[in-house]
Amino acid sequence: MRIVMCILILFFSWSCHQREDKSSCEDSIGVYTFANYPIGTAINFEKLYTDSLYTEIGTKQFNSITAENIFKAEYLHPKETEFNWVQADSLVNFCTENNKRIHGHTLIWDEQLPTWIPEFKGDSADWQELMKNHIQTIVHHFKEKVKGWDVVNEAFNEDGSLKKTGWLIKIGDDYMEKAFNYTHAADTSALLFYNDYKLESNPVKRKSVITYLNKLRNKGVKIDGIGLQMHISTSKPTVSEIASAINEIVQNGYLVHLSELDISINPEGKEIELAKELFVKQAELLGAIVSAYNHVPNKYQYGITFFGICDKYTWIRSYLKRQDYPLLYDDNYLPKPAYCTLKEALKSK
Ligand code: G3I
């Protein structure tokens, strides 16, 4: 009997130690509470109402919400004369009830459009009216609820040239200027952003974007900030490249939004063994990025938004079909080392 008791005591202390290991980075307090700028996440709307743990973590850990998909044209404006507010209003209500900022992603992009837009037949003036109606109907609907909009998303090529999107071809080179002006006219309280990928790693693209936006701003167009999407990996870009990008944006007087942050540990899509070192490297990189962001003057800190809550729902798996683990929580909703370093880096600001 005594031997059995000893074995049970040993097992119990071992299993507690295991939980302690797993919960060494405990997440009982929302990580956003350690920051003096918003810590956000992109929300997969479907999971918000079907996965209670997803919603519990999303509600507790973040104070800014971006819709991963349902604020895009194909969901909000499915037909030329039809807007669908149901899901987006439900997300806005969730944010209001839980005192969370909502960031609008995105008004003008050349992806995830409803079929009627690329099929629309009209001259430049007709297309301009289409874009104005699209933008102003949506922005009016969410007036003073959506704090900031990605007015235009991903409009530049890697070489710094303007993408020949349908919007540019149909409306002309000044379509972005019009888009920002239409948005501002519909909600003068909203902060207006240009959002793009690889601005943190491609100085040619970044310089071209900033030069272009500065020209618009010098004409009186309201442009408040730039979204660095930050779909990065543990292999690139370096922290110093990211810090240079952030500083260049601040020096040009724009708010900086790390708008879609995820850190791939498997950018080449290989069959990988999940060694702890991979997650330590991911955590160290995140800690260094947050430390760099902490040095941004607070008036330019729009916040850091992760592009999802847990690895199992990352777009990298569903859209890129790649085995990856880029976010703060693992497939079992346990906080990863990256969560720990985020919390420590925010506390040490
Ligand atoms: O909603 C349909 C569903 O009804 C259908 O059953 C399913 C299978 O066909 O598709 C679902 O739509 C998918 C949608 O995500 C919602 O899950 C689309 O096929 C899929 O293309 C779409 O992918 C999104 C992608 O943008 C589109 O380019 C990703 O979820 C989303 O994370 C990703 O987000 C973009 C940002 O908006 C801009 N920056 C880059 C980022 C990653 O590409």
Answer yes or no: is the C-beta of 44 below 6 A from any ligand 1 atom.
no
Residue 327 in this model has a pLDDT that exceeds 70? yes
- In tens, the pLDDT along 161-196 reads 999 999 999 999 999 999 999 999 999 999 999 999
Mean pLDDT of 327-333: 97
Instruction: Tell me 298's DSSP state.
Output: G
Is residue 129 annotated as part of the catalytic site, yes or no? no
Nearest ligand 1 atom to the CA of 105 is 37
* Whether the bond into 66 is cis, omega within 30 of 0: no
- Distance CA(41)–CA(108), nearest Å, equals 21
Residue from 69, 70, 115, 322 whose mutation best tests the ligand 1 pocket (most atoms within 8 A of CB): 69
Catalytic residue among 154, 177, 271, 273: 154
pLDDT the model gives residue 3: 62
Nearest ligand 1 atom to the CA of 153 is 38
Mean pLDDT of 254-264: 99
Catalytic residue among 68, 177, 200, 260: 260
Answer yes or no: is the C-beta of 324 below 6 A from any ligand 1 atom.
no
**Which H or E element spans position 281?**
helix 276-294
- In tens, the pLDDT along 73-132 reads 999 999 999 999 999 999 999 999 999 999 999 999 999 999 999 999 999 999 999 999
Spell 242-253 as b/e; 16+ CB within 10 A means b: bbbbbebbbeee
Residue 309 in this model has a pLDDT that exceeds 90? yes
Q: pTM for the complete prediction?
A: 0.93
Structure tokens at 5: 């008791």
pLDDT the model gives residue 15: 44
The set of residues, in sequence order, having a beta carbon less than 8 Å from that of 263 and lying 6+ positions away, is 232, 233, 234, 282, 285, 286, 326, 338
